[in-house]
Amino acid sequence: MKTKLYFTAVMFLGMMGVSNAQAQNPECMTNLSIFSEHAKVKNYEAAYEPWKMVYETCPQLNNAIYVYGERILKDKVDKATGADKEKFTTELMGLYDNKMKHFASKTNYAETEIDKALVMYDNKMADDAKMYQMMDDAFTKDAENFTNPKALYIYFSSLVDLYNDGKKDLQEVFDVYDAVTDKIQVENDGITKKIAVLLPKEEAGTLTSKEKRLLKSYNSYSENYGKIEGSIDSKLGPLADCSNLIPLYEKSFEEKKSDVVWVKRAVGLMFNKECTDDPMFQKLFEAQLALDPSADAYVYGGTLKMKGGDSSGAMADFDKALTLETDNIKKSKIAYKVAVINKRKGSKSTARSYAQKAIDANPANGRAYLLIANLYATSANDCGSTPFEKRAMYWKAADMARRAGRVDPSLSSSASQSAASYNAKAPTKEMIFSSGMAGKTVSFSCWVGGSVKVPTL
């Protein structure tokens, strides 16, 4: 039996990679095979002792010590109480440190610190101050690898709680909010780019089994980022109202006006929160224009011109912004901002035009699809000569909303809610039957144009 286990271990290690020196220890090799087999079938209780022997005697033998060790110890923590729970929790956090020490190529600083912080968070072992300190340290030192959605939320949430307790200032809250939301957008942009590559293959039915798994994983991660972003915005809540933003930026402007990062974040947040009527927005815009006359600055300048009644000047600035930007994802976001500005003004056709430019630059821009869906829905009463034709517009709106959630799963919740709302306003089965329109096409002669096919009964 022992010979068989040893042979199994050799085969296992041949695939996983081992430390040559420690692979000479027959007892470690045998116990590695034993605990691995138990852990694979989730018999963590039986796996613990042989795992512990290998972990303490041959810590460099194989990365499986840390992969399975995490599962074994989490099971121990979940089932333990009192002093035993604390003991196994401490052991688990030590495991993360030792993985970083012995298998640094298999992990990174941010992942290690996040794992430790989440153990403390899940087991209520740290207050807000400790949690924020751990998360801030990980994010500051290794932002590139700080990608865990739950950790991003805890990082921001613990800071807001500290602010509410009078232990942090509002500027720090906004600084971390900007950094965290930027990170979420960057990560989600990367995921949706991968989704965009796979969607045509899925529609054609040519996805491989591996690609199906990848698409499922990408969709799940994007959805999680969407949920976390929504939770972060809810946590920020009224703190980002114009009544808070404006006095804060007025107070800090003279000191910070040469700090390009601060200026760009300040003017961006004021724009997003629709605080553009206040003179402070003009001051921040001018400061950004002096420091960094980038594409975004022309968007803000166009916004001010639009508010001042100079529509042609505003549109010239918007087009200048799109011309200056060479990164397609950034260009898409600029076009989307311009679409939003025109929607607020009531220029629906122009808003759709820029939303389409956003989609052309980045087919994964789900927000642009949602905006077009809303433009269609709010035009229903203006498109069609009969009640049926007017309500048919909602099918077109629902289709655009569904596309938003498809290309960007982070928007799946709001997209599905919008689509359901639009479908509820579309003609019912009874209306389709009584009108005799089943399977026919309804064309729109208003600004929307195009047509929609009536569902068959």
In a domain, 410, yes or no: yes
How many domains does the chain fold into?
Answer: 2
* Count of beta carbons in the 10 Å neighbourhood of residue 418: 23
In a domain, 93, yes or no: yes
Nearest to 415 by CA among 349, 370, 365: 370
Q: Which pLDDT value is given to residue 435?
A: 93
In a domain, 306, yes or no: no
* Count of beta carbons in the 10 Å neighbourhood of residue 130: 14
Q: Which of 88, 107, 126 is the last residue of a domain?
A: 107
Provide the residue range defining the domain that includes 398: 364-457
Written as six digits, the tokens of 173 are: 């809250």
Q: Which of 107, 134, 165 is the last residue of a domain?
A: 107
Exposed e or buried b per residue across 37-67, where buried means at least 16 C-beta atoms within 10 angstroms of its C-beta: bbbeeeebeebbebbbbbbeebbbbbbbbbb
Contact indicator for 388, 343 with CB cutoff of 8 Å: no
With a CB cutoff of 8 Å and minimum separation 6, the contacts of 323 are none
Contact indicator for 423, 399 with CB cutoff of 8 Å: no
In a domain, 196, yes or no: no
Contact indicator for 129, 161 with CB cutoff of 8 Å: no
Q: Which pLDDT value is given to residue 64?
A: 96
Q: Which is it for strands 441-443 and 451-453: parallel, antiparallel or unpaired?
A: antiparallel
For residues 376 and 109, what is the distance between their CA atoms, to the nearest angstrom?
48
Written as six digits, the tokens of 401 are: 């909303």
In a domain, 327, yes or no: no
Place of tokens 């509820």: 424
Q: Which of 107, 128, 153 is the last residue of a domain?
A: 107
For residues 85 and 124, what is the distance between their CA atoms, to the nearest angstrom?
12
pLDDT tens-place values along the chain, 457 residues long: 444 444 444 444 444 445 555 556 899 999 999 999 999 999 999 999 999 999 999 999 999 999 999 999 999 999 999 999 999 999 999 999 999 999 999 999 999 999 999 999 999 999 999 999 999 999 999 999 999 999 999 999 999 999 999 999 999 999 999 999 999 999 999 999 999 999 999 999 999 999 999 999 999 999 999 999 999 999 999 999 999 999 999 999 999 999 999 999 999 999 888 899 999 999 999 999 999 988 988 999 998 998 889 989 999 999 999 999 999 999 999 999 999 989 988 999 999 999 999 999 999 999 999 999 999 999 999 998 899 999 999 999 999 999 999 999 999 999 999 999 999 999 999 999 999 999 999 999 899 999 999 999 8
In a domain, 60, yes or no: yes
Reported as half-sphere exposure (CB side, CA atoms, 13 A), residue 334 has a value of 26
For residues 36 and 237, what is the distance between their CA atoms, to the nearest angstrom?
47
Q: 314-321 contacts: CB < 8 A, separation 24 or more? A: 314/341, 318/354, 320/295, 321/295, 321/296, 321/297
